Amino acid sequence: MIPPQEASARRREIEDKLKQEEETLSFIRDSLEKSDQLTKNMVSILSSFESRLMKLENSIIPVHKQTENLQRLQENVEKTLSCLDHVISYYHVATDTEKIIREGPTGRLEEYLGSMAKIQKAVEYFQDNSPDSPELNKVKLLFERGKESLESEFRSLMTRHSKVVSPVLILDLLSGEDELEVQDEVPLEHLPEGALQDVIRISRWLVEYGRNQDFMNVYYQIRSSQLDRSIKGLREHFRKSSSSSGVPYSPAIPNKRKDTPTKKPVKRPGTIRKAQNLLKQYSQHGLDGKKGGSNLIPLEGRDDMLDVETDAYIHCISAFVKLAQSEYQLLTDVIPEHHQKKTFDSLIQDALDGLTLEGENIACAARKAVIRHDFSAVLTVFPILRHLKQTKPEFDQVLQGTAASTKNKLPSLIASMETVGAKALEDFADNIKNDPDKEYNMPKDGTVHELTSNAILFLQQLLDFQETAGAMLASQETSSSATSYSSEFSKRLLSTYICKVLGNLQLNLLSKSKVYEDPALSAIFLHNNYNYILKALEKSELIQLVAVTQKTAERSYREHIEQQIQTYQRSWIKVTDYITEKNLPVFQPGVKLRDKERQMIKERFKGFNDGLEELCKIQKAWAIPDTEQRDKIRQAQKNIVKETYGAFLHRYGSVPFTKNPEKYIKYRVEQVGDMIDRLFDTSA
C-alpha cells in the first residue's frame, strides 16, 4: 500500500504534465490557424499574377510576330545587297588585277596567283551568267596573258637557276660510293629551295587551272641540256686534268664544310699502262728481248690518251646513272605523276644518245684497229664493257618505265662491244698463227721475238677481265645464249682460247726459227721464247687459267726448253770431236813420235782452237736474257768442254809433237772456261 505522501506527490506531477500538454496543444492550434490564413493569402496573390500574366501575353505575341517579320525583311535586304556587291566586284576584277598581271609574277608569285584566282572566278561567273558580255572577253584575255606570264616565269626560273653540276662534285659523289664507312649522302641541289618551290607552285597551277602541258617540254629541254652539259663537262675535266697533271683529281678545298666536295683520286683502269709495267717488270727479270718491240705498246702519249678516254667514258657512264637518279627525284616534285615517265624519257635522251654514240665510236675505232692488226686499241673495250655490265642493274632501275627503245640502248651497246671484243680475240689468235716469217724482222741475237712479247702482254690483260673476255667468247657460241652460260663455262672457254693462242704462238715460233741458218741459234731463239712464255705464265695467274683445260702445260714447256738446250749443246760437238779419245794416236812414253802422229796431234789442237775461237766469236753476239738460264747453259757447256779439253791437254800437253808448243797449246783449261763464260754477252 502506497503511503499518502507519495500518492499526493504523484498526483501533482501528473497534473503538471497535463497542464503542459494542454499548453502545447493550444500553441499548435494557433499555428495551424495562422498557416491557413497565409495559404489563403498566397493563393489569392498567385491567382492575381496569373491573370495579369495572361493579359501581358495577349498583348506581346502580336508585337513579337511583327518584329520577326521585320528582321526577316532586313536579312533579305542585306543578302541582296551582298549579292549585288559580289556581282559588281566581278566587273571590277579586270581593273583591279590588270596592273599586277602586266607587271608579272617575278618576286611576288603569291600575290600574282591570288589575282589569277580572282580572274578565273570572274571568267567562270560571266560564262555562266553573261556569256555575251564584253566583260567576259576582257577577263579572258587577262587570264590568257597571266597564264603566258606564268609560263614565261617557269621558263625563266628554270633557265636562271638550273646549273651544270661541276666535275669535282660529280667525282666526289662517285668516289663516295666506294667509301667503306657509311656517310650521310648530300643530295644534289639542282635548283635553290626558293626557286624550286616557285617552280612547283607554277607547274601545279598550270596543270590544275591553266590546262597546259607545254611547260613539261620546257622543263625537259632545260634539264636535258644541263644533264648533257654536266656529263660533257666531266669528260672535258678528264682531258684537261690529264694534259696538265696526268691524273684527274678533285682539287683540295681547305676548311670545307660538310657539303663541300672532298678530295679523292679517281680510280683508273690503266689497261695499256699496265701492259707497259708488265713489260718493264719482265725486263728487270731478264725475260724481255733486246729487239722485240711490241705493237701492243704504242707511244706513251697515245697510251695516256687511250687511258684518259677510257677513264672519262667509264666515269661518264657512272655519272649518268647518278645524275639521272637525281633528275628523276627532282622531276617527281615538278611534273604530274602520269607524265613523269614520258618526260624523264625525253629528258635523258640527249645524254644517253651521246654516251651510246661515244661507246659505238670506241667500238668502231677498236674494230678498225683490229683490221690493222693493232690490238692495243681493243684493250679499251674490256674495262668499258666490264663497267657497262656492272652498271647495267642500276641502268635498268633508272630506265624503268621508259620506252623500249630507251631501255635497249645499253644492251645493244654491250652486244656491239662483245662482238667487237670476240672478233678481236679471234683475229688476234689468227694473227699469232699467221704472222709472216720475215727475215729482217727476226732478232739477230736469237732473243725473244716481238710476237711472243705481244702475245703474252695481250694475254696478261685478259687476267683483269676474265669474266668479260669469257663472256665475249661465250656470246659467240651458238649453243649458248647471253643469259644461259655460267661463269665456269666462260672460264673454260677463256682457258681454251689462251691455250689456242699459246699453241699458235709455238707453231709460229717453230716456223720462224727455220729462218736461222745455224741450228744452234735457232735452238737459242726457241729456248728464249719458250722460257719467256713459261716465266710469264708462272709470274701471273695465267698458268692457273691454262691449267683449267691443259694440266701439263708447264711440264711441256720445261721439256721444250730442255730439248732446245740439248740441241744447242750439239753445236759444240764439232769442237770437242777434235779432242775426244777416238782416232787419237797411241804411244809409249819415251818413244819418239812419227811424223804422221805429230801431224795428227797438231791438227787436233788447231781444230779445237779454231773451233773454240769461232764459236765464242759467234755465240758471244747471241743473247739469253734470263740470267738464271744463261748461267745454267754456260756452266753446263763449260763443264763438258773443260773436262774434255783438260783430259786431252793432260795427255798431249807434255808430248814433244812440235818445236813450238805455244803455237798449238794456246789456251789453258781455265782460259777456255773464261771464254765460255763470255758467251751470250755482247758487252764482253
| Model pLDDT for residues 514-537, shown as the tens digit of each residue | 999 999 999 999 999 999 999 999
pLDDT for 212-236, tens place per residue?
A: 778 999 999 999 999 999 999 999 9
What residue has cell string 498583348?
Answer: 59
Query: Per-residue pLDDT averaged across 626-638, rounded?
Result: 93
Q: Collapse the DSSP code of 373 into the 3-class scheme (helix H, G, I; strand E, B; otherwise coil) and give the result.
A: coil
Number of other CB atoms surrounding residue 27 within 10 Å:
10
Contact 370, 325 (CB under 8 A): no
Q: Collapse the DSSP code of 548 into the 3-class scheme (helix H, G, I; strand E, B; otherwise coil) and give the result.
A: coil
386-416 CB burial, b ≥16 within 10 A, e <16: bbbbebeebbeebbeebeeebbebbeebbeb
**What's residue 86's pLDDT?**
54
Query: 451: alpha, beta or left, given left = phi > 0 and alpha = psi -120 to 50?
Result: alpha
d(CA 391, CA 47): 104
Q: What is the pTM of this model?
A: 0.72
CA 39 to chain centre: 109
Whole-Å CA distances, 188 to 163, 192, 328: 11, 10, 12
Q: Give the pLDDT band of residue 485 (cuts 50, 70, 90).
A: low
Judge whether residue 289 has pLDDT over 90: no
Query: Per-residue pLDDT averaged across 395-405, rounded?
Result: 92
Number of other CB atoms surrounding residue 556 within 10 Å:
15
- 49: amino acid identity, one letter: F
d(CA 595, CA 616): 31
423 vs 253, which has greater pLDDT?
423
d(CA 172, CA 264): 7
d(CA 294, CA 678): 29
**Residue 226 neighbours by CB under 8 Å, 6+ apart:** 162, 163, 164, 165, 190
Contact 338, 198 (CB under 8 A): no
**What's residue 437's pLDDT?**
67
- 144: amino acid identity, one letter: E
507-543 CB burial, b ≥16 within 10 A, e <16: ebbeebbeebeeebbbbbbbbbbbbbbbbbbeeeebe
Residue 181 burial (C-beta neighbours within 10 Å; 0-12, 13-18, 19+): exposed
d(CA 599, CA 224): 99
d(CA 494, CA 517): 37
pLDDT for 542-575, tens place per residue?
A: 999 999 999 999 999 999 999 999 999 999 998 9
Contact 559, 526 (CB under 8 A): no
d(CA 351, CA 230): 9
**What's residue 41's pLDDT?**
85
**What's residue 251's pLDDT?**
36
CA 660 to chain centre: 83
Tell me which residue of 109, 94, 97, 103 sits closest to 140, measured CA to CA. Answer: 94
**Residue 675 neighbours by CB under 8 Å, 6+ apart:** 612, 616, 667
**What's residue 301's pLDDT?**
40
**Residue 131 neighbours by CB under 8 Å, 6+ apart:** none
614-642 CB burial, b ≥16 within 10 A, e <16: ebbeebbebbbbbeebbeebbeebbeebb
**Residue 324 neighbours by CB under 8 Å, 6+ apart:** 227, 348, 351, 398
Query: Per-residue pLDDT averaged across 182-206, rounded?
Result: 80
Contact 449, 522 (CB under 8 A): no
> What does R_g of the chain's alpha carbons equal in angstroms?
55
Helix residue ranges per DSSP H, 104-192: 109-129, 134-161, 167-176
d(CA 120, CA 208): 12
- 283: amino acid identity, one letter: S
What residue has cell string 636562271?
Answer: 160
Residue 179 burial (C-beta neighbours within 10 Å; 0-12, 13-18, 19+): exposed
**What's residue 588's pLDDT?**
63
pLDDT for 83-119, tens place per residue?
A: 555 566 677 777 778 888 888 888 888 888 888 888 8
C-alpha dihedral (369, 374, 375, 380), degrees to nearest 10: -50
**What's residue 483's pLDDT?**
45
Q: Collapse the DSSP code of 76 into the 3-class scheme (helix H, G, I; strand E, B; otherwise coil) and give the result.
A: helix
**What's residue 65's pLDDT?**
76
**What's residue 89's pLDDT?**
64
Lowest mean pLDDT among 126-140, 520-534, 668-682: 126-140
Helix residue ranges per DSSP H, 246-380: 271-284, 300-334, 337-371
What do you get for the CA distance between the two ends of the chain, in Å? 181
